């Protein structure tokens, strides 16, 4: 029987017995001892019916909440595994870091391969921002449903990941690439000649202290960003595994 129909029938029975109790109280033909007995019986029936109705409502609400919790955890687990694979793919950043490493090695040795430095100079200004679709988590949180996660340790870990770990890495990427692009525009892009093919000839200003600093500093920082992304991916996979264990209970 549908829950709404059960609810309606329960409410009808309660109203019916409440009306009967009123009629008993208003019946002047009945002696008070009999009235009190019949009123007590009706009140007992009403209290019992209300208790059963509330219990059924609570049970149904609890079942719906458990269903919502399970669906959320299954979805967020899939999100984490998918995003972890995206984060762990640092191949593009590694190519950029490799360019910085080779450029610095050439500068340190004094053996500059102008063709390599210039042809790949776009690596000095490219970007690879960290982005996430956190709509599932934010929607669940903003609706006040995080309270539905029975495992409070799991809820704490998940909340920390989505409100601290991931936003930190997103902000770190944003700061790094914006600062790096600004430095490039100021000390390299505005000074290095550009040939007819649109190639920025960084090799022409490679000995400029500002250029050397840019390549040395941001080259090291790129490796830090790579390591941070790998560690974040590992934390996301660990969180997904923690959720998987919870779902198996």
- Structural domain count of the chain: 1
Can you tell me the mean pLDDT for 145-163? 95
pLDDT tens per residue across span 187-200: 999 999 999 999 99
Q: Is residue 200 part of a domain?
A: yes
b/e code 141-162 from CB counts within 10 Å (16+ = b): beeeebebbebeebbebbeebb
> Where are any strands of DSSP class E within the chain?
none
Q: Is residue 15 part of a domain?
A: no
Q: Is residue 51 part of a domain?
A: no
Rg of the chain (C-alpha set) = 34
Q: Is residue 25 part of a domain?
A: no
- pTM to 2 decimal places: 0.77
Q: Is residue 20 part of a domain?
A: no
How big is the CA angle at 99 (ends 96 and 105), to the nearest 5 degrees?
145
Q: Is residue 149 part of a domain?
A: yes
pLDDT tens per residue across span 26-79: 556 666 666 667 667 767 776 766 676 666 666 666 788 889 999 999 999 999
Q: Does residue 100 contact residue 219 with C-beta atoms inside 8 Å? A: yes
Q: Does residue 123 contact residue 96 with C-beta atoms inside 8 Å? A: yes
Domain that holds residue 197: 67-247
Q: Is residue 27 part of a domain?
A: no
CB atoms within 10 A of CB 81: 16
């Amino acid at each position: 029987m549908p829950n709404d129909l059960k609810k309606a029938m329960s409410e009808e029975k309660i109203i019916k017995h409440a009306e009967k109790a009123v009629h008993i109280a208003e019946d002047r033909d009945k002696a008070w001892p009999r009235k009190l007995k019949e009123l007590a019986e009706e009140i007992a029936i009403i209290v019992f019916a209300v208790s059963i109705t509330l219990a059924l409502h609570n049970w149904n609400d609890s079942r719906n909440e458990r269903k919502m919790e399970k669906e959320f955890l299954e979805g967020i687990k899939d999100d984490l595994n998918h995003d972890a694979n995206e984060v762990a793919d640092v191949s593009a950043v590694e190519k950029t870091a490799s360019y910085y490493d080779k450029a610095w090695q050439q500068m340190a040795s004094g053996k500059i391969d102008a063709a390599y430095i210039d042809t790949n100079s776009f690596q000095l200004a490219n970007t690879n921002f960290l982005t996430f679709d956190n709509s599932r988590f934010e929607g669940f949180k903003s609706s006040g449903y995080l309270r539905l996660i029975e495992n409070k340790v799991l809820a704490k870990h998940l909340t920390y990941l989505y409100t601290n770990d991931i936003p930190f890495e997103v902000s770190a990427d944003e700061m790094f690439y914006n600062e790096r692009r600004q430095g490039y525009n100021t000390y390299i892009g505005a000074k290095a000649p550009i040939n007819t093919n649109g190639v920025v000839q960084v090799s022409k200003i490679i000995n400029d202290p500002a250029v050397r600093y840019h390549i040395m500093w941001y080259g090291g920082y790129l490796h830090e960003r790579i390591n941070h992304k790998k560690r974040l991916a590992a934390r996301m996979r660990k969180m997904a595994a923690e959720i998987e264990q919870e779902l198996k209970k």
